[in-house]
Amino acid sequence: MRYFIVEEDKSAGYTGDVDASHKWGLPGVDSCPTCKATWSDTSRAYPSVDLSSVASLADFVEARAEPLEEYERLRELVRPLCPPGAQLEPGTSLGPLVGRAQGRFGSLAAPYPWWLLVQREALDRLQAERLRGLKGCPTQLRFRQRNAPELLELELLSAGRLHPDCLPPKRELRCTRCGRFGHTLPKSRLLDATTIPSGMDVFRLEDFSTVIVCTERFVDACRRLGLDGVAFLPLPLSPTR
Protein backbone atom coordinates (compact mmCIF):
# COMPACT_ATOMS: atom_id res chain seq x y z
CA MET A 1 0.00 0.00 0.00
CA ARG A 2 1.23 3.47 -0.86
CA TYR A 3 0.49 6.65 1.12
CA PHE A 4 0.04 10.29 0.15
CA ILE A 5 -0.12 13.72 1.76
CA VAL A 6 -3.35 15.57 0.97
CA GLU A 7 -2.96 19.24 0.05
CA GLU A 8 -4.91 21.98 -1.67
CA ASP A 9 -4.71 21.77 -5.46
CA LYS A 10 -3.84 25.37 -6.28
CA SER A 11 -3.82 24.61 -10.00
CA ALA A 12 -7.51 23.62 -10.02
CA GLY A 13 -8.68 27.23 -10.32
CA TYR A 14 -11.23 27.20 -7.51
CA THR A 15 -11.94 30.48 -5.69
CA GLY A 16 -13.36 29.03 -2.47
CA ASP A 17 -12.42 30.87 0.72
CA VAL A 18 -13.29 30.02 4.32
CA ASP A 19 -13.08 32.39 7.29
CA ALA A 20 -14.10 30.24 10.24
CA SER A 21 -13.06 28.54 13.44
CA HIS A 22 -14.41 25.68 15.49
CA LYS A 23 -17.13 26.44 17.98
CA TRP A 24 -15.23 25.34 21.07
CA GLY A 25 -11.71 24.35 22.08
CA LEU A 26 -9.35 23.46 24.86
CA PRO A 27 -7.12 26.23 26.21
CA GLY A 28 -3.41 26.34 25.56
CA VAL A 29 -0.80 25.85 28.26
CA ASP A 30 0.73 28.84 30.02
CA SER A 31 4.34 28.25 31.08
CA CYS A 32 4.70 24.49 31.47
CA PRO A 33 6.59 23.85 34.73
CA THR A 34 8.98 21.47 32.95
CA CYS A 35 9.74 22.91 29.49
CA LYS A 36 8.62 26.49 30.35
CA ALA A 37 6.76 26.76 27.01
CA THR A 38 3.47 28.58 26.48
CA TRP A 39 1.78 26.86 23.56
CA SER A 40 -1.28 25.41 21.86
CA ASP A 41 -2.03 23.43 18.70
CA THR A 42 -5.34 24.29 17.06
CA SER A 43 -4.75 22.08 14.01
CA ARG A 44 -6.12 19.01 15.76
CA ALA A 45 -9.93 19.06 15.61
CA TYR A 46 -12.88 16.84 16.48
CA PRO A 47 -15.88 18.47 14.78
CA SER A 48 -18.33 15.76 15.87
CA VAL A 49 -17.99 16.72 19.54
CA ASP A 50 -21.00 18.47 21.10
CA LEU A 51 -20.23 20.35 24.31
CA SER A 52 -23.65 21.99 24.66
CA SER A 53 -24.46 19.79 27.67
CA VAL A 54 -21.31 20.80 29.58
CA ALA A 55 -22.17 22.99 32.58
CA SER A 56 -19.02 25.13 32.32
CA LEU A 57 -19.41 25.73 28.58
CA ALA A 58 -17.89 29.22 28.78
CA ASP A 59 -14.54 27.62 29.65
CA PHE A 60 -14.30 26.27 26.09
CA VAL A 61 -15.28 29.36 24.09
CA GLU A 62 -12.41 31.82 24.46
CA ALA A 63 -8.97 31.00 23.04
CA ARG A 64 -6.43 31.54 25.80
CA ALA A 65 -3.60 29.93 27.76
CA GLU A 66 -4.13 28.47 31.22
CA PRO A 67 -1.87 26.86 33.83
CA LEU A 68 -1.17 23.23 32.97
CA GLU A 69 -3.33 21.88 35.79
CA GLU A 70 -6.38 23.85 34.58
CA TYR A 71 -5.90 22.64 31.01
CA GLU A 72 -5.71 19.05 32.30
CA ARG A 73 -8.91 19.51 34.33
CA LEU A 74 -10.82 20.80 31.31
CA ARG A 75 -9.36 18.10 29.07
CA GLU A 76 -10.67 15.33 31.33
CA LEU A 77 -14.05 17.05 31.54
CA VAL A 78 -14.62 16.70 27.79
CA ARG A 79 -12.80 13.44 27.15
CA PRO A 80 -15.94 11.26 27.57
CA LEU A 81 -17.61 13.28 24.77
CA CYS A 82 -14.74 12.78 22.30
CA PRO A 83 -14.01 9.90 19.92
CA PRO A 84 -12.22 6.95 21.56
CA GLY A 85 -8.48 7.54 21.68
CA ALA A 86 -8.74 11.23 20.78
CA GLN A 87 -5.52 13.17 21.27
CA LEU A 88 -6.62 16.16 23.33
CA GLU A 89 -3.57 18.40 23.29
CA PRO A 90 -3.61 22.06 24.37
CA GLY A 91 -5.60 24.11 21.87
CA THR A 92 -7.50 21.14 20.39
CA SER A 93 -10.54 22.38 18.47
CA LEU A 94 -13.99 20.92 19.15
CA GLY A 95 -17.39 21.20 17.50
CA PRO A 96 -18.43 22.42 14.07
CA LEU A 97 -16.72 25.05 11.94
CA VAL A 98 -18.53 28.36 12.35
CA GLY A 99 -18.01 31.34 10.07
CA ARG A 100 -18.23 32.57 6.48
CA ALA A 101 -17.42 30.98 3.15
CA GLN A 102 -17.58 32.18 -0.42
CA GLY A 103 -16.51 31.26 -3.93
CA ARG A 104 -16.34 28.05 -5.92
CA PHE A 105 -15.19 24.84 -4.23
CA GLY A 106 -14.03 21.54 -5.65
CA SER A 107 -15.40 18.20 -4.57
CA LEU A 108 -12.84 18.34 -1.76
CA ALA A 109 -11.18 21.40 -0.29
CA ALA A 110 -8.25 22.06 2.02
CA PRO A 111 -8.43 25.80 2.80
CA TYR A 112 -5.82 25.12 5.48
CA PRO A 113 -3.44 22.14 5.33
CA TRP A 114 -5.02 20.65 8.47
CA TRP A 115 -8.67 20.90 7.35
CA LEU A 116 -10.28 18.61 4.81
CA LEU A 117 -13.73 19.67 3.63
CA VAL A 118 -15.91 17.67 1.28
CA GLN A 119 -19.15 18.36 -0.56
CA ARG A 120 -22.08 16.16 0.49
CA GLU A 121 -22.44 14.38 -2.85
CA ALA A 122 -18.72 13.66 -3.02
CA LEU A 123 -18.74 12.16 0.49
CA ASP A 124 -21.69 9.93 -0.40
CA ARG A 125 -19.83 8.64 -3.45
CA LEU A 126 -16.65 7.99 -1.47
CA GLN A 127 -18.53 6.14 1.24
CA ALA A 128 -20.17 4.00 -1.46
CA GLU A 129 -16.63 2.90 -2.37
CA ARG A 130 -16.35 1.43 1.14
CA LEU A 131 -13.43 3.60 2.10
CA ARG A 132 -12.64 3.29 5.78
CA GLY A 133 -12.91 5.94 8.47
CA LEU A 134 -14.77 8.63 6.50
CA LYS A 135 -16.87 10.64 8.93
CA GLY A 136 -18.35 13.86 7.58
CA CYS A 137 -19.45 16.43 10.15
CA PRO A 138 -21.86 19.32 9.47
CA THR A 139 -20.41 22.82 9.37
CA GLN A 140 -22.05 26.14 10.20
CA LEU A 141 -20.65 28.11 7.27
CA ARG A 142 -22.66 31.04 5.94
CA PHE A 143 -22.60 31.71 2.20
CA ARG A 144 -23.69 34.97 0.56
CA GLN A 145 -24.29 33.48 -2.85
CA ARG A 146 -26.77 31.41 -4.77
CA ASN A 147 -26.32 27.67 -5.17
CA ALA A 148 -24.04 27.47 -2.15
CA PRO A 149 -22.48 24.01 -1.66
CA GLU A 150 -23.07 21.90 1.42
CA LEU A 151 -19.60 21.53 2.90
CA LEU A 152 -18.86 18.90 5.52
CA GLU A 153 -15.66 18.57 7.51
CA LEU A 154 -14.00 15.17 7.67
CA GLU A 155 -13.16 14.21 11.22
CA LEU A 156 -9.54 13.10 11.01
CA LEU A 157 -8.27 10.88 13.81
CA SER A 158 -4.60 10.96 14.73
CA ALA A 159 -2.56 7.97 13.60
CA GLY A 160 0.85 7.22 12.15
CA ARG A 161 4.13 9.05 12.72
CA LEU A 162 7.11 10.15 10.72
CA HIS A 163 10.13 7.87 10.94
CA PRO A 164 12.85 8.89 13.44
CA ASP A 165 15.30 9.23 10.54
CA CYS A 166 13.41 12.42 9.57
CA LEU A 167 14.11 14.02 12.93
CA PRO A 168 17.27 15.32 14.64
CA PRO A 169 19.17 12.47 16.32
CA LYS A 170 19.80 12.18 20.04
CA ARG A 171 17.38 14.89 21.09
CA GLU A 172 14.40 14.73 23.41
CA LEU A 173 11.62 16.23 21.32
CA ARG A 174 8.57 15.77 23.56
CA CYS A 175 8.13 17.36 26.98
CA THR A 176 7.50 14.68 29.58
CA ARG A 177 5.05 16.93 31.45
CA CYS A 178 2.89 18.82 28.93
CA GLY A 179 3.59 16.68 25.84
CA ARG A 180 4.85 19.54 23.66
CA PHE A 181 6.58 18.21 20.54
CA GLY A 182 9.45 20.60 19.96
CA HIS A 183 10.33 20.13 16.32
CA THR A 184 9.18 21.75 13.09
CA LEU A 185 7.87 19.70 10.18
CA PRO A 186 10.89 18.35 8.27
CA LYS A 187 11.14 18.98 4.54
CA SER A 188 12.17 15.38 3.90
CA ARG A 189 9.40 13.09 5.17
CA LEU A 190 9.26 9.33 5.63
CA LEU A 191 6.25 7.56 7.11
CA ASP A 192 7.12 5.05 9.81
CA ALA A 193 5.74 1.73 8.52
CA THR A 194 5.39 0.37 12.08
CA THR A 195 2.87 3.09 13.00
CA ILE A 196 0.45 2.80 10.08
CA PRO A 197 -3.16 2.51 11.30
CA SER A 198 -5.57 -0.18 10.23
CA GLY A 199 -9.13 0.63 9.27
CA MET A 200 -8.43 4.21 8.11
CA ASP A 201 -8.01 5.49 4.57
CA VAL A 202 -7.46 9.11 5.65
CA PHE A 203 -6.00 10.41 8.91
CA ARG A 204 -3.73 13.07 10.37
CA LEU A 205 -0.28 12.31 11.76
CA GLU A 206 0.09 11.90 15.51
CA ASP A 207 3.32 13.87 15.73
CA PHE A 208 2.63 16.50 13.04
CA SER A 209 -1.08 17.18 13.17
CA THR A 210 -1.01 19.66 10.28
CA VAL A 211 -0.26 16.79 7.88
CA ILE A 212 -3.20 14.86 6.41
CA VAL A 213 -2.35 11.44 5.00
CA CYS A 214 -4.43 9.10 2.85
CA THR A 215 -4.04 5.66 1.36
CA GLU A 216 -3.68 4.68 -2.27
CA ARG A 217 -7.25 3.38 -2.06
CA PHE A 218 -8.50 6.91 -1.28
CA VAL A 219 -6.50 8.43 -4.14
CA ASP A 220 -7.71 5.81 -6.63
CA ALA A 221 -11.34 6.36 -5.61
CA CYS A 222 -11.07 10.15 -5.98
CA ARG A 223 -9.51 9.84 -9.43
CA ARG A 224 -11.97 7.21 -10.62
CA LEU A 225 -14.93 9.31 -9.45
CA GLY A 226 -13.50 12.53 -10.87
CA LEU A 227 -13.36 14.26 -7.49
CA ASP A 228 -11.10 17.30 -7.52
CA GLY A 229 -9.93 20.20 -5.36
CA VAL A 230 -6.97 18.53 -3.64
CA ALA A 231 -3.61 17.17 -4.73
CA PHE A 232 -1.88 14.00 -3.55
CA LEU A 233 1.86 14.06 -2.83
CA PRO A 234 3.57 10.66 -2.44
CA LEU A 235 4.78 9.99 1.10
CA PRO A 236 7.61 7.41 1.15
CA LEU A 237 7.23 4.52 3.55
CA SER A 238 10.08 3.27 5.74
CA PRO A 239 11.13 -0.36 5.21
CA THR A 240 9.82 -2.80 7.81
CA ARG A 241 12.34 -4.64 9.89
138 and 168 share one domain = no
Question: By residue range, what is the domain housing residue 132?
Answer: 100-154
Q: Rounded to an integer, what distance in angstroms lies between the CA atom of residue 105 and that of residue 16?
A: 5
The answer to whether position 241 is within a domain reads no
Q: Any idea what DSSP says for residue 181?
A: B
In this prediction, residue 239 carries a pLDDT of: 81
pLDDT in tens, 211-236: 999 999 999 999 999 999 999 999 99
Distance CA 230, CA 71 (A): 35
What integer pLDDT is reported at residue 171 of this predicted model?
59
For position 166, what pLDDT does the model report? Answer: 86
Domain count for the chain:
3
The pTM of this model reads 0.94
pLDDT on residue 240: 67
- Residues 32 and 81 both lie in one domain: yes
Q: Give the dihedral sign, CA 21/24/29/30.
A: positive
Residues (pLDDT < 70) of the chain are 170-172, 240-241
The pLDDT of residue 213:
98
Please give the pLDDT value at position 96: 98
Secondary structure class of 221 (helix, strand, coil): helix
**Which residue, of 113, 130, 154, is where some domain finishes?**
154
The predicted pLDDT at position 76 comes to 97
85 and 50 within one domain? yes
C-alpha separations of 238 from 6, 163, 186, 192 in Å: 19, 7, 15, 5
Q: Are residues 181 and 210 in the same domain?
A: yes
